[in-house]
Amino acid sequence: MHPRTALCAASTLALIAGAAAAQTTVTIATVNNGDMIRMQGLADNFTEQHPDIELEWVTLEENVLRQRVTQDVATQGGQFDVMTIGTYEVPIWGEQGWLTPLEGMPEGWNPEDFLPAIASGLTVDGTLYAAPFYGESSMVMYRTDLMEEAGLEMPEAPTWDFIGEAAAAMTDKDNEIYGICLRGKPGWGENMAFLTAMSNSFGARWFDENWQPQFDTDAWAQTLDTYLELVTNYGPPGAASNGFNENLALFQQGKCGMWIDATVAASFVTNPDESQVADSVGFALAPDNGLGKRGNWLWAWSLAIPSGTDAEDAAKEFIAWATGQAYTELVAENEGWANVPPGTRTSLYENEEYLSAAPFAERTLESINAADPQNPTVDPVPYTGVQFVAIPEFQGLGTAVGQVMSAALAGQTTAEEALAQAQTIATREMERAGYID
Amino acid sequence: MATQHSRAAARFMIAPSVILLLAWMLIPLGMTLWFSFLRYNLLMPGANPFVGFENYAYFLSDPTFITSLINTLLLVGGVLIITVVGGIGLAVLLDQPMWGTGIVRIMVISPFFVMPTVSALVWKNMFMNPVNGLFAYVAEVLGVPAFDFLTQAPLASIIGIVSWQWLPFATLILLTAMQSLDSEQLEAAEMDGASALSRFWYIKLPHLARAITVVVLIQTIFLLSIFAEILVTTNGGPGVASTNLTYLVYAESLLRFDVGTGSAGGVVAIILANIVAIFLMRMIGKNLDA
Amino acid sequence: MARAVSNRRMAINTGVAWVLAILIFFPILWTILTSFKTEATAIADPPVFLAFDWTLENYETVQERSNYFRHFMNSVVISVGSTLIGLLIAIPAAWAMAFVPGRQTKNVLMWMLSTKMLPPVGVLVPLYLIFRDYGLLDTRIGLVIVLTLINLPIIVWMLYTYFREIPVDILEAARMDGAGLSSEVLYILTPMAVPGIASTLLLNIILAWNEAFWTLNLTAANAAPLTAFIASYSSPEGLFYAKLSAASTMAIAPILVMGWFSQRQLVRGLTFGAVK
């Protein structure tokens, strides 16, 4: 009984203390990703500096969060003062006038320091609408020990052929070692993020310049065949329901030979407290096919203020704190340099302490710079976005297509049927939305 | 027998419930009905023009619609069969004298207290996960390849999870009914030399008929709108293998934020649910009047 | 007269029942056990049952991250509040239906039940807009209203079926003795109705406690109950079985314990008129 009583007492005290000092409440909706949870843990630092601001956290799983904040911002529900959203939402919401421009921010925030590739994705007509909390691209993470055992050497910039060869050589299913772990969980931000980025390197695209869906092309067939072959032959069981988090857990347990996913995972897989394979992880650029585009994406989880909030100034103070350089130093001090939120500021990649603590820093920066949201594909397209199409319809469409791809991975349909279905779904949706007749 | 006066009083007493439920039905339902005739997407603000039955046409022509209908029926039917058959079995068993009845009963009813989200999360991760789940370990011990429940048999797995949650409820109601059975009747039958099986078939089962209809009715009401379990475990997939009608409406209105189509889907779902309801009410009405 | 049962049969019954009961209970037990493991032990192969170093660290982590106490209080207020209000509205209605049945009574009852078949997802957006306009988003009172309404049909029906079994003769005898309506209710009906009301109360607290759609979608921080609390542990980065188990245990423990202690009361009225 003792811990329980103490726990209640502590919370009651916290409530009383909170009520006594607070004047403005900032409600923050955020994802339950590691970096955000760390931020929540360090938030005392902010409230010490700003005793007149109280922070309320609403931490939700990604899909739930996305639905909640979209619903709230679109209906002007006014539930949140700060929202965690990504590079997909910011341009669309900014254009709709749903976000408060980040102007008149506190002194010393230094937005010029943000990486240009990231900042451009958060800017609409020259106005910044969200501040990047961490940025990511994708890259190959692999087990150096297994690679050595297999007698192979990972090039800095591998091709898909090499990945296939290495996956075959590393797989040892009897010992639960799977050559490659890839996303299979349906969702536009899950398997479709990976597949869309991958398809770019095969010369595929979602739509041609007249918004005609392109799933009936050879390039998509090649993409899907390669993907299915890799995951079915060398992937873990249950791959069709594995997303980022599931694969991270598998990799940390030493069950994956290679894993192509977000660069932000690098600090988790190299953290000896969490990862059993921390000292034998190598990094390489996302694979390509010699067509001039790599299969890597670009994403930044960012903090934005919905328009119509009643705590705009306090929200700006918070965003300036969470995305400022002082926060980076705060994390470094408490958790070590390797754990600071990556991929947002140029200055971080010029910091010697960071570069020596984070063996993945250089590769991360290279990957981020290699992605080009304005020009994502081999053939021209009418949209921006590397692993997504920045139109409002994409959220639903991408998820529906993701379901089809996931069914193909589960063996319920063939690749051919899946692509035909994807083509039908996309045509149906685009016709309804009035892009095509 | 009831006087004019008591009738008036009765109406007055029923009124609050009826008015509240009427408001609850009409206001959101009225809005849903209205929205279902508009082109209304939350992500594309602007005029929401009246488009007649376009949303209905779009929703009903979706190939997923038929699949989701079948899935809904399979889900409801599957869970009903498992819980009713399992519930009868457990009720018969728990009705027998044994040591530790209290603890056994507590263990059996416990799943009913578990939130759907929690039970879905626990089953998905700690049992059905093909790498780290307990079932995978059991498979490993038996020397068979791990079965990937939520990918290979998504709907069946969800039926299993939901049945686990509702089995206690069915068991409880059936057990209570069983205990009201006159024991002298059973004893007489036993003395006449009726076997255990025929005692069950000719005496116990008919006695349970009413309780079974009650279980079917109540569970159907809840099972038609199963949602959390699907959202947590499979997101309706792979493909649309575990998408039921509720989930399809969710996908339209909260993933695509197409409120128009979502509302049309909602109206369709309400109509279908009411057809089921009328069917059930007939059945139960007959049984309850007796 | 109890039948004599041989020890052998008793032993077989006991054995079978215990095995089944443990199987049914096992997922809950396993969750509770896992919540005291470290993340590494939680996925150990082969799985460990009891012989591990018990730790409270998961509970500490969860408590550090979330304000459990507030979520817990919200759950209590919302589930108990909506149930009490529901009972207040439903008791007169059920009473009237049971003792002064009219031609339409059965239809009204069936209609009430059919409102429960409204798929919540279909009406979320309209309701969200209404809640926004009346400032009910993220308030306990808003959730109490919604949960009262969605559970009202079940409450009315459960009470109705229970009240119906109270023999009318008793009432008539009381009326002959000159008892008025109020004393009729107070002295005769109430004591007889208590088990039914108690069990309705318990069942509805359980249903309201576990309701996860409206409670998640209409709240943010202030009124979020335990269902929202669990949503932040559903799929975090890295290993999470132990933390998930701890959060799950914290979310279900109160209602589980309440259910265990009150199961007798719960069962007594949980007949829905099925027992004759």
Tens-digit pLDDT profile for residues B104-114? 999 999 999 99
Q: Where are the domains of chain C?
A: 7-59, 68-269
Chain C, nearest residue to A276 by Cα: C40
Flag whether pLDDT at A415 surpasses 60: yes
- Residue A170's pLDDT is 96
Flag whether pLDDT at A206 surpasses 70: yes
Flag whether pLDDT at A44 surpasses 80: yes
Chain C, nearest residue to A15 by Cα: C70
Dihedral-angle region of residue C116 (phi above 0 means left; psi in -120 to 50 means alpha; beta otherwise): alpha
Contacts of C225 in chain B (CB under 8 A): none
Residues 196-235 in C contacting A (C-alpha not used; CB under 8 Å)? 216-217, 220-222, 224, 228, 231-235
Q: What is the 3-state secondary structure (H, E, C) of A288-349?
A: ECCCCCECCCEEEEEEECECCCCCHHHHHHHHHHHCCHHHHHHHHHHHCHHHCCCCCEHHHH
Which residues touch C244 (CB under 8 Å, ≥6 apart)? B121, B122, B125, C233, C234
Flag whether pLDDT at A184 surpasses 80: yes
Query: Cβ of A352: how many Cβ atoms within 10 Å?
Result: 8
C87 close to C197: Cβ distance less than 8 angstroms = yes
Flag whether pLDDT at A193 surpasses 90: yes
Tens-digit pLDDT profile for residues A278-299? 999 999 999 999 999 999 999 9
Q: Which residue has the higher pLDDT, B284 or A336?
A: A336
Tens-digit pLDDT profile for residues C15-31? 999 999 999 999 999 99
- Residue C267's pLDDT is 77
Q: Which residue has the higher pLDDT, C134 or B8?
A: C134
Residue type, B227: F
A322-326, B155-159, B236-240, B286-290: the lowest-pLDDT one: B286-290
A419-423, C160-164, C232-236: the lowest-pLDDT one: C232-236
Task: Grade residue C275 by pLDDT with cuts at 50, 70 and 90.
Answer: low
User: What pTM value is reported for the model?
Assistant: 0.89
Half-sphere exposure of B165 (CA within 13 A, CB side): 26
Flag whether pLDDT at A8 surpasses 70: no
The answer to whether A29 contacts C231, with C-beta atoms less than 8 Å apart, is: no
Residues 11-40 in C contacting B (C-alpha not used; CB under 8 Å)? 13-14, 16-18, 20-22, 24-25, 27-28, 30-31, 34
Residues 111-140 in C contacting A (C-alpha not used; CB under 8 Å)? 124-125, 128-129, 132, 137-138
Considering only the beta carbons, identify the residue of C181, C266, C275 that sits closest to B177.
Answer: C275
Tens-digit pLDDT profile for residues A102-151? 999 999 999 999 999 899 889 999 999 999 999 999 999 999 999 999 99
The answer to whether C128 contacts A71, with C-beta atoms less than 8 Å apart, is: yes
3-state DSSP assignment of residue A255: coil
Contacts of A63 in chain B (CB under 8 A): 235
Q: Rounded CA gap, C113 and C115, in Å?
A: 5
- Residue C238's pLDDT is 62
- Residue A432's pLDDT is 87
The pair of structure tokens assigned to A110 is 């230094």
Tens-digit pLDDT profile for residues C118-129? 778 778 888 888
Across the strands, what pairs with A132? Answer: A302
A421 close to A397: Cβ distance less than 8 angstroms = no
Task: Grade residue B230 by pLDDT with cuts at 50, 70 and 90.
Answer: very high
Provide the CATH topology of domain B54-289: MetI-like fold (1.10.3720)
B123-137, B161-175, C70-84: the lowest-pLDDT one: B123-137
Q: Rounded CA gap, A148 and A326, in Å?
A: 41
Residue C140 Cα, gap to closest chain B Cα (Å): 18
Task: Grade residue B127 by pLDDT with cuts at 50, 70 and 90.
Answer: very high
Contacts of A245 in chain C (CB under 8 A): 235-238, 240
Q: What percent of chain C has pLDDT over 90?
A: 41
Tens-digit pLDDT profile for residues B71-104? 999 999 999 999 999 999 999 999 888 888 889 9
Q: What percent of chain C has pLDDT over 70?
A: 91
From the candidate CATH numbers 3.40.50.720, 3.20.20.70, 1.10.3720.10, 2.60.40.790, the one assigned to the domain spanning C68-269: 1.10.3720.10
Considering only the beta carbons, identify the residue of A8, A71, A245 that sits closest to C235.
Answer: A245
- Residue A32's pLDDT is 85
- Residue B277's pLDDT is 76
Tens-digit pLDDT profile for residues C166-179? 777 777 777 777 76
Across the strands, what pairs with A304? Answer: A83
Pick from B239, B244, B216, B260: which is nearest to B33 by CA? Answer: B260
Flag whether pLDDT at C271 surpasses 70: no
C249 close to C35: Cβ distance less than 8 angstroms = yes
A40-54, C153-167, C227-241: the lowest-pLDDT one: C227-241
Q: Check if C256 contacts B (Cβ < 8 Å).
A: yes
Chains touching chain B through at least 3 C-beta pairs below 8 angstroms are A, C
- Work out the angle at residue A150's Cα, subtended by the Cα atoms of residues A148 and A153, and round it to the nearest 5 degrees: 55
Task: Supply the ipTM of this predicted assembly.
Answer: 0.89
A401-415, B7-21, C136-150: the lowest-pLDDT one: B7-21
- Residue A113's pLDDT is 95
Which residues touch A346 (CB under 8 Å, ≥6 apart)? A113, A114, A115
Chain A residues with a Cβ under 8 Å from any Cβ in chain B: 63, 67, 70-71, 74-75, 92, 96, 176, 185-187, 236-241, 249-250, 253, 255, 392-393, 395-397, 399-400, 403-404, 406-407, 409-413, 428, 432
Q: Note the residue count of chain A.
A: 437
- Work out the angle at residue C23's Cα, subtended by the Cα atoms of residues C19 and C26, and round it to the nearest 5 degrees: 130
Q: Rounded CA gap, C135 and C130, in Å?
A: 9
Flag whether pLDDT at A371 surpasses 80: yes
Flag whether pLDDT at B287 surpasses 80: no
The answer to whether B240 contacts A412, with C-beta atoms less than 8 Å apart, is: no
Which residues touch C157 (CB under 8 Å, ≥6 apart)? C94, C109, C112, C113, C272
Tens-digit pLDDT profile for residues C197-231? 898 999 999 999 999 889 988 988 889 999 988 88
Q: What is the largest CA-CA distance in chain A?
A: 68
Chains touching chain A through at least 3 C-beta pairs below 8 angstroms are B, C
Q: Rounded CA gap, A246 and C236, in Å?
A: 9
A46-55, A421-430, B263-272: the lowest-pLDDT one: B263-272
- Per DSSP, C103 falls in state T
Pick from A190, A192, A191: which is nearest to A206 by CA? Answer: A192
- Alpha helices (runs of H) in chain B, residue ranges in sequence order: 4-35, 54-60, 63-95, 101-109, 116-122, 134-142, 149-152, 154-179, 183-191, 196-199, 205-223, 228-233, 245-250, 259-289
Task: Grade residue B5 by pLDDT with cuts at 50, 70 and 90.
Answer: confident
Identify the residue whose tokens are 């059973």: B186
Work out how many CB contacts closer than 8 A connect A with B: 100
The pair of structure tokens assigned to C14 is 């006991």
User: For the residues C75-90, what does the mean pLDDT come to?
Assistant: 96
Identify the residue whose tokens are 């306990």: C140
Q: Which of C99, C106, C210, C230 to mutate to test the interface with B (most CBs of B within 10 A)?
A: C210
3-state DSSP assignment of residue A68: helix
Distances in Å between the Cα of C79 and the Cα atoms of B222, C82, C84 are: 18, 5, 9
Contacts of B146 in chain A (CB under 8 A): 237
Q: What percent of chain B has pLDDT over 70?
A: 96
Flag whether pLDDT at B128 surpasses 80: yes
Across the strands, what pairs with A54? Answer: A25
The pair of structure tokens assigned to B247 is 């989930």
User: For the residues A158-170, what does the mean pLDDT come to?
Assistant: 96
Give the H or E element holding residue A357: helix A352-357
- Residue A420's pLDDT is 96
Tens-digit pLDDT profile for residues A25-36? 999 999 988 889
Chain B residues with a Cβ under 8 Å from any Cβ in chain A: 41-45, 58, 62, 129-132, 136, 145-146, 148, 150-152, 234-241, 251-252, 254-258
B280 close to B80: Cβ distance less than 8 angstroms = no
- Alpha helices (runs of H) in A81-190, residue ranges in sequence order: 89-96, 116-121, 144-149, 160-170
Task: Grade residue A225 by pLDDT with cuts at 50, 70 and 90.
Answer: very high
Domains of chain A: 21-129+298-357 (3.40.190.10), 139-296+384-433 (3.40.190.10)
- Residue A5's pLDDT is 46
